Structure 1
Amino acid sequence: MKWVFVFLFLAAAVYVHFRGRVRHRLGRQLLDHSTFMAPINVLMYACSRVPTTPFLTPEQHFPELAPLRARWQEVRAEALHLREMQQIKAADQYNDVGFNSFFRRGWKRFYLKWYDEAHPSAAELCPVTTQLLREVPSVKAAMFTELPPGSELRPHRDPYAGSLRLHLGLETPNDDACFIDVDGQRYSWRDGEWTMFDETYIHWAQNGSQHNRIILFCDIERPMRFAWARGLNRFIAKRLIAAGASPNSEGDKTGAINKIFKYFYALRLKSKALKERSKGTYYFFKYAAVAAVIALIVWL
């Protein structure tokens, strides 16, 4: 039975690696979080009630989201007010593990909600948007995100396939030089228009224009064909994904994962310093750790 589980894990990891047209290098994929989540993600794909293509059509598959787009100008007004207050920003501390690497390349955010009720700061500063989100239960997480001129997000894939990503353009360059690329397909943001994509495909973004980009960024619960799959998805979201909650300001919730992230980040800084001194030693320990985990799984 142990070897059956090992085989299923490896088969799922191989599927995730070769899924789509764009792939990470094998060395990076071995250490990518999507590899460790592969068995659960393959189950999510198999039970999905909507297509598992890189892009989806929100109007066709999620009609309940229509009020967000219909009232996008009101949502934009609150986002622009936040920007004037300099509240759309990088994390003040090491308490946003999910997006920590994005901040180094100019990306900024203001959380509206994260697999829970609205952040207190969001309810106070964005009453219209948070009320709209409250009326659409399939929206599990939401934030305003900013991508200033010259900023970029390197190719990556999100770890969990239980949701789909919605982007609604609020203040955008309306220029093809500002785009997101999902599995080799590009979409350029436009004011008042939206797109939806599967964030477990490799994607990256760039603002090569001279103008700022602000969007409403939402995680939408993936609809499932079976009640047990829907229950599993919600259990994982509540017990694991919700632990990644990050605050905008004092008084907002910080999830358990982010409470301990600063300690792991200190270790990460030491590993980066080792890489600068000796790449050979760094990669030896890196792959030795992976081999040890695999050996432990096989041994157990």
Structure 2
Amino acid sequence: MKWVFVLLFLACAAYVHFRGRVRHRLGRQLLDHSTFMAPVNVLMYLCSRVPTRPFIVPEQHFPELEPLRAHWREIRDEALRLRELQQIKAAEGYNDVGFNSFFRRGWKRFYLKWYDEAHPSAAELCPLTTRLLREVPSVKAAMFAELPHGGELRPHRDPYAGSLRLHLGLATPNDDACFIEVDGGRYSWRDGEWTMFDETYIHAARNDSGRNRIILFCDVERPLRWGWARAFNRFVARNLIVAGASPNQEGDRTGAINHLFKYFYALRLKSKALKERSESAYYAIKYGVVAGVVALIVWW
């Protein structure tokens, strides 16, 4: 029975790696968080009621989201007011594990909600947007996301397939030089227009337009065919994804994972220092740890 689980895990990991046209190098994929979530994600794909392709047309499958697009100008006004107050910003400490690497390349955010009620800061500063989001329960997480000129997000895939990503253009360059690529397909943001994609495909973004870009960024619960699958998805969200909550201001919730992140990041800094001194030692330890974990699983 143990070998059945091992082979099932390997099959799911291989499917995640070869899914789509764009792939990580095998060495990177072995250590990517999506590999460890592969069996759960394959289950989400099998149970999905919407197409499992890179881009999805939101109005065809999510009519409940239409009020967000209908009120995009009012939402934009709240986002621009936040920007004037310098509240759309990078995390002020090591308390946003999910997006920590993005901050180094110019990306900024202001959380509106994260698998829970609105942050107190969001309810105070963005009353209209948080009210609209409250009326659309399928939106599990939302934020304003800013990408300035010269900013970029390197190719990556998100770890969990229980949601789909919605981008609604608010204050964008309206320029093809500001774009996102999902599995090799490109979309350029426009004011008042939206796109939806499966964030477990490899995606990347750049802004070379000379102007700033602000969007409404939402994670929308993936519709699933069966009640047991929906219950499982919500269990994972309540007990794992919610632990990634990150604050805008003091008084906002910080999830358990982000409370621990500063300690893991200190270890990460030590590993980067080792890599600078000796790449061979760094990779020997890195792949040795992976081999050790695999051996424990196989022989347990």
TM range (shorter): over 0.9
1:127 and 2:132 equivalent? no
Which residue pairs with 1:141 in the alignment?
141
Opposite residue 102 of structure 1, the aligned amino acid is F
In 2: Cα distance, 1:296 partner to 1:234 partner? 30
**Unaligned 5+ residue runs, structure 2?**
none
Aligned position for 1:114: 114
Q: How does 1:50-65 map to 2 (within 5 A)?
A: 50-65=50-65
Partner of 1:271: 271
Task: Give the letter for the 2:98 counterpart.
Answer: G
Post-superposition CA distance 1:234-288 (Å, at most 9, x none): 0000100000000000000000000000000000000000000000000000000
Alignment partner, residue 172 of structure 2: 172
Match of 1:202 in 2: 202
- Secondary structure of 2:143 counterpart: strand
Letter in 1 for 2:259: K
- After TM superposition, give the deviation of residue 135 of structure 1 in Å: 0.1
Which whole-Å deviations, capped at 9, do the CAs of 1:167-202 have from their partners, x for residues lacking one? Answer: 000000000000000000000000000000000000
Point out where structure 1 has 5 or more consecutive residues left out of the alignment: none
Aligned length: 300
Aligned to 1:45: 45
Matched, 1:89 2:85: no
- Equivalence map 1:1-300=2 (5 Å): 1-300=1-300
Mapped to 2, the partners of 1:46 and 1:208 lie a distance apart of 38
Q: TM-score, normalised by structure 1?
A: 1.00
Counterpart residue type for residue 2 of structure 1? K
The RMSD of aligned alpha carbons is: 0.2
- TM-score norm. by structure 2 comes to 1.00
Task: State, as a whole percentage, how many aligned pairs show the same letter.
Answer: 82
Give the Cα–Cα distance (whole angstroms) in 2 for the partners of residues 173 and 287 of structure 1. Answer: 43
2:23 corresponds to which letter in structure 1? R
Shift of 1:39: 0.2
1:154 is matched by which residue type in structure 2? Answer: R
Give distance in 2, aligned partners of 1:293 and 1:161: 24
Task: Give the secondary structure class of the aligned counterpart of 1:297.
Answer: helix
Match of 1:169, SS state, is strand
**SS at 1:87 equivalent:** coil
Q: State the alpha-carbon separation in 1 of the partners of residues 182 and 130 from structure 2.
A: 28
In the alignment, the residues of structure 2 paired with residue 286 and residue 143 of structure 1 have an alpha-carbon distance, to the nearest angstrom, of 34
| Cα drift, residue 299 of structure 1 | 1.1
